[in-house]
Amino acid sequence: MREERVQQARLQTLKSKFEMLHMKEDETIDTFTTKLTTLVNKAASLGHTMKDEELVRKLLNAVPDRYLQIVASIEQYSDLDEMTLKEAIGRLKTYEERI
């Protein structure tokens, strides 16, 4: 029982960190997505699985304004419900290389 409460507390902490996570102006997509996937993996180890849809939306909402053009394009022309996190990361990294 005590172990279950500890796990729930850890999971709640991870969820809070996930909600507050935003990419800094000087961060790269690689650096930010490493932080994001680390949180996701820790949550999974506690029995909480996050869907790609939720992760893609988080990623698109967490990037700085300099990515606004590619985020708008992805949202307009892609089915976010079907997009994988890997695909979203790839598109953002491609854009990042061009700016």
What is the rounded average pLDDT of the residues 78-98?
A: 97
Sign of the CA dihedral 41, 42, 43, 48?
A: positive
Mutual angle of helices 85-98 and 52-62, in 10-degree steps: 20
78: nearest Cα among 57, 50, 51: 57
pLDDT at position 99: 87
pLDDT at position 12: 96
Its pTM surpasses 0.95: no
- Mean pLDDT over each residue of the chain, to the nearest integer: 96
51-62 per-position pLDDT tens digit: 999 999 999 999
Within 10 angstroms of residue 64's Cβ, the number of other Cβ atoms is 13
4-13, 25-34, 66-75: least confidently modelled range: 4-13
DSSP 22: -
